[in-house]
């Protein structure tokens, strides 16, 4: 009976030790959550899930030693106005950083650049008021299509980024737009190779945002 009591006591002591504050401090930190508010490109149109941008970006960040959970929030056909309308619901509580990647459909619809700028500023403002770090990924009009409208369109993204001092990627599709080797048959949506290029360019900016956030909170 004595040996039985000792055995039970050892079990209780061992279990209690596992719950001490010291043990709790050695537990792994929670993985940061990163949302991608965007359109068909961030939704992975025409691609298997493992080749879509959220998953490729998560893999690129892991290669940099940055473990995150990417939360897709892309909707096919989305515009900056649509992103503004749903940003509060699309980016859930607990997200630390949000990549805002909108604008391609605004260009296809010839949306007013002034309205695009206001929409982007409102999206960023809403995220910032929730203490969410923002990476703004713009879209640029191809050089052969440049016009007064094109310059105003391109400027809308830079103006929104400068006003709120967010991390800014001027052209999410740089090097991919109109490149047949990096796009699907529609000539608009990136293929797996194109997505990989986008993810490699975007990953360091996301890592920068998360690192600066951790430094600020320390």
List pLDDT tens digits, range 64-113. Answer: 999 999 999 999 999 999 999 999 999 999 999 999 999 999 999 999 99
The residues near 143 (Cβ < 8 Å, ≥ 6 apart) are: none
Q: Which long-range contacts (CB under 8 A, 24 or more apart) does 191-195 make?
A: 191/46, 191/47, 192/47, 192/51, 195/44, 195/47, 195/51, 195/52, 195/53, 195/56
Contact 192, 54 (CB under 8 A): no
Per-residue tokens: 151? 């310059």
Q: What is the mean pLDDT of each run of 10 residues along the chain (218 residues)?
A: 48 44 59 97 95 98 97 96 97 97 96 98 97 96 84 95 94 95 96 98 97 70
The residues near 31 (Cβ < 8 Å, ≥ 6 apart) are: 67, 68, 69
The CA-atom distances, in angstroms, between 108 and each of 71, 78, 87, 104, 172 are: 26, 11, 21, 6, 16
The CA-atom distances, in angstroms, between 105 and each of 16, 46, 162 are: 57, 17, 22
Per-residue tokens: 65? 């030693």
Q: What is the pTM of this model?
A: 0.85
DSSP state letter for 139: -
Contact 121, 80 (CB under 8 A): no
- Cα–Cα distance, 161 to 117 (Å, whole number): 9
Fold observed for domain 30-217: Rossmann fold (3.40.50)
Per-domain residue ranges for the chain? 30-217
């Amino acid at each position: 009976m004595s040996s039985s009591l000792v055995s039970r006591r050892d079990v209780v002591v061992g279990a209690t030790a596992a719950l001490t504050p010291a043990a709790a401090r050695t537990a792994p930190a929670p993985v940061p959550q990163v949302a991608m508010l965007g359109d068909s490109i961030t939704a992975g149109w025409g691609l298997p899930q493992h080749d879509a941008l959220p998953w490729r970006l998560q893999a690129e960040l892991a290669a940099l030693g940055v473990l995150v959970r990417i939360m897709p929030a892309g909707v096919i056909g989305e515009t900056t106005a649509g992103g503004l309308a749903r940003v509060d619901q699309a980016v859930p509580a607990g997200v630390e950083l949000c990549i805002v990647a909108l604008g391609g459909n605004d260009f296809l619809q010839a949306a007013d650049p002034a309205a695009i700028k206001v929409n982007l500023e409102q999206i960023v403002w809403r995220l910032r008021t929730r203490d969410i770090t923002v990476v703004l990924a713009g879209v640029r009009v191809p050089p052969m299509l440049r016009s007064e409208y094109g310059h105003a369109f391109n400027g809308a993204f830079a103006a929104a980024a400068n006003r709120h001092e967010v991390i800014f990627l001027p052209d999410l599709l740089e090097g991919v737009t109109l490149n047949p080797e990096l796009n699907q048959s529609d000539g608009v949506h990136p293929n797996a190779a194109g997505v990989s290029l986008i993810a490699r360019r975007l990953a360091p900016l996301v890592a920068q945002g998360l690192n600066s956030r951790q430094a600020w909170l320390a």
